[in-house]
Amino acid sequence: MSALPASLADALTASDLIHDRCVITQAIDDMAAALDARLAGREALLLTVLHGALPFAGQLAMAMRSPLRFDTVHATRYRGSTQGGELLWKQRPATPLAGRSVLLADDILDEGHTLAALRDWCLGEHAAEVVIATLCRKPHGRCVPGLHSDVNGLLVPDRYVFGYGMDFQEQGRNLPAIYALRDA
């Protein structure tokens, strides 16, 4: 693996545009329709995984017609790094999960360790169901066994990706498109 670029500007120069805003918007609209059909009018708790899922979850919520309550969870394995470590809980949801349909929204399903831990925690809090919605998924064979997105918007290459919620060294989450470093 090559050294990471020194700045966000350098990262953009060394990256390929993978999905532009129009493609992302269409994918989120399609996800919203699929989730509305799955919920069939039931209320769900949209549990946004901070910080990465904020742009995605906000747009998803606006596209959905199902009744939603909002809350957030902040757990990370990365802490600004490119490789995950032990799960660190920074904030648990304030909303009780018992008996609720939980829509767990995250920016990306890569290996899935964080999502698996969050799903298991929600089920341990007696959520009636946990539906995982991810904006992106990397198609590879390294995912936690048995973990999958119930609804996923886009595939991204098995490279370092950033933009639209995903960060490059804690920057670039507000980029309106998704990029992948060419050599990382």
Are the CB atoms for 97 and 125 separated by under 8 Å?
yes
The catalytic position among 10, 29, 30, 110 is 110
3-state secondary structure of 37: helix
CATH 3.40.50.2020 fits 21-159, yes or no: yes
Closest CA to 115 of 77, 169, 61, 156: 77
Read off the pTM: 0.92
Helices then strands (H, E): number in the chain? 4, 9
For residue 184, pLDDT over 70 is answered with no
Sign, CA dihedral 12-76-174-58, equals positive
Averaged pLDDT for residues 11-35 = 98
Closest CA to 161 of 135, 123, 142: 135
Categorize the per-residue pLDDT at 70 as very low, low, confident or very high, splitting at 50, 70 and 90.
very high
Are the CB atoms for 24 and 80 separated by under 8 Å?
no
Query: Is 158 labeled as catalytic in the residue annotation?
Result: no
For residue 129, pLDDT over 80 is answered with yes
**For a pLDDT cut of 90, what percent of the chain falls above it?**
88
- State the pLDDT at residue 19: 98
pLDDT tens digits for range 132-141: 999 999 999 9
Exposure string for 39-59, b = 16+ CB within 10 A, e = fewer: beeeebbbbbbbbbbbbbbbb
Averaged pLDDT for residues 83-98 = 86
Domain-wise residue ranges, the chain: 21-159
- State the pLDDT at residue 40: 96
